[in-house]
Amino acid sequence: MSRGARPGERRGGRGKGSLNKATIERALVAERIVNEATLNGRRLAKEVLQDFVELFTGLAAAHQPTGTSPGELTLWKADGREPYFEKYARLAVATAKDLAQYQSPKLAAVQVVAPAPNADPVRKRFSVSIFDHSGRPLPKAIEVTKLATAKLRHSPHDE
């Protein structure tokens, strides 16, 4: 009696598309943390980050210049609001970067692979016609004798 699966038959193992034990465990731990945080009245870190993004963005907006003419920018710098704007804008951007990993998936670099060459090489056939010195085609098969090969080896042109 033969052992093993027949061709096309699948036995044992994890089914296609089902999660492995480690992934299931991680999902359960994450769900438990979220549930505990909501039951205890604590906010999740991503919620706190979202609040600070909005706070720093609002503070930066309060200190941003209102006009674009050189005179208005000079007054804005003279008022001393430029360092505050820069400080809060940097904080808003840094906090938004930290928050982004929770809101959007990271994008991986995409590599484009050249298509594989054809498995069958291209073969071309062609025919060659050989003519003698007077322009007549030579016969398809030439009888070669030992004497003719000896003459070819020691041709007078080699000397």
Residue-level pLDDT at 90: 92
Residue-level pLDDT at 143: 65
4: left (phi over 0), alpha (psi -120 to 50) or beta: left
pTM of the predicted protein model: 0.43
User: How many Cβ atoms from other residues are within 10 Å of residue 52's Cβ?
Assistant: 16
| Average predicted confidence (pLDDT) for the chain | 79
Tens-digit pLDDT profile for residues 54-110? 999 998 888 888 777 777 777 777 888 888 888 989 999 998 888 888 777 777 788
Residue-level pLDDT at 153: 57
Tokens 């994450």 belong to residue: 30
154 or 21, which is more confident: 21
CB-CB contact of 46 with 102 (8 Å): yes
Q: In the chain, which residue ranges form alpha helices assigned H by DSSP? A: 21-39, 45-63, 70-78, 82-103, 146-153
